[in-house]
Structure 1
Amino acid sequence: MIDYIDANKDEFGVEPICSQLPIAPQTYYAARNRPPSKRAVSDEETAVKIHTVHRKNYGVYGARKVHAQLKRDGHPVARCTVERLMRREGLRGVSRRKGPRTTVPGPFSERPGDLVDRRFTAPAPDCLWVADITYIRTS
């Protein structure tokens, strides 16, 4: 709310905006003049160190490895704090996991024709057999 009031106070004034919002003008002025909290100051210092570690390791370190590196460098910080700050700064590690690759189209070559004309219901048993081999490795 403070940012909104800052952005619009030249056009409307602080008191009219505060009368429409659930905030008193004294609260706005107190928040504007208040120094940053200890957590905000330490978060900024830690964020700079996280950026340094992340960049030094080619952007592949995730929160666990960044936390371990900061601990080795003598900067004790909780892992949840590292996770929160990395999320806030948009930093992510690289995952080695590969998800299932279901369909990889090959080059356009001759493919078998559609013998059932996309109708997968049979009038009686043993008239139509259909199978899905998407998850079967065929190489």
Structure 2
Amino acid sequence: MLRVTDRGYGAWRDSPMSQRAIRHEMLVETIVNIHRASRGCYGARRVHAELVHGLGISVGRDQVARVLARTGLRRLADTRERYVNREHLVTTEDLINRNFTATAPDQL
């Protein structure tokens, strides 16, 4: 079906892991540990910052995001709203009834 010889398949199966695959496995384990240590609060940006600045591991943020997506890890959703419309809120009482003309200093 795949037109691969038995000998070629056996050579591929028995070959040692590449340096890239070893680094990827180490990276996955480290990312999962950081995410668990943050109790699920960290997303790709914070995990990336922890890897680069905290542990000194050179890795791109997109790669961290891909690893998190492949492992099914996500940050906890924010409980607060990102934007609150405050146009309708009255912040203070209008003591001068919008009359900004003063006849003398310190009048209003």
Using the alignment, how far apart are the partners of 1:44 and 1:91 within structure 2?
A: 16
Using the alignment, how far apart are the partners of 1:50 and 1:95 within structure 2?
A: 19
Using the alignment, how far apart are the partners of 2:20 and 2:70 within structure 1?
A: 14
Q: Deviations over 1:26-72 (max 9, x none)?
A: 22011112111111100111112111210111111111111011111
Count matched residues.
Answer: 79
In the alignment, structure 1 residue 35 sits paired with structure 2 residue 30: no
Instruction: Determine what percentage of the aligned residue pairs are the same residue.
Output: 39
TM-score normalised per structure 2: 0.64
Q: C-alpha displacement at 1:88, in angstroms?
A: 1.9
Higher relative contact order (CA 8 A, sep 6+): 2
In the alignment, structure 1 residue 90 sits paired with structure 2 residue 72: yes
Q: Deviations over 1:70-106 (max 9, x none)?
A: 11111221112211211222211123287xxxxxxxx
Q: Which of residues 44, 59, 68 in structure 2 aligns to 1:77?
A: 59
Unaligned 5+ segments in structure 1 are 1-19, 99-139
Within 5 Å, which residues of 2 pair with 1:1-139? 20-73=1-54, 74-96=56-78
Q: C-alpha displacement at 1:25, in angstroms?
A: 1.4
Unaligned 5+ segments in structure 2 are 82-108
What residue identity is the alignment partner of 2:42?
Y
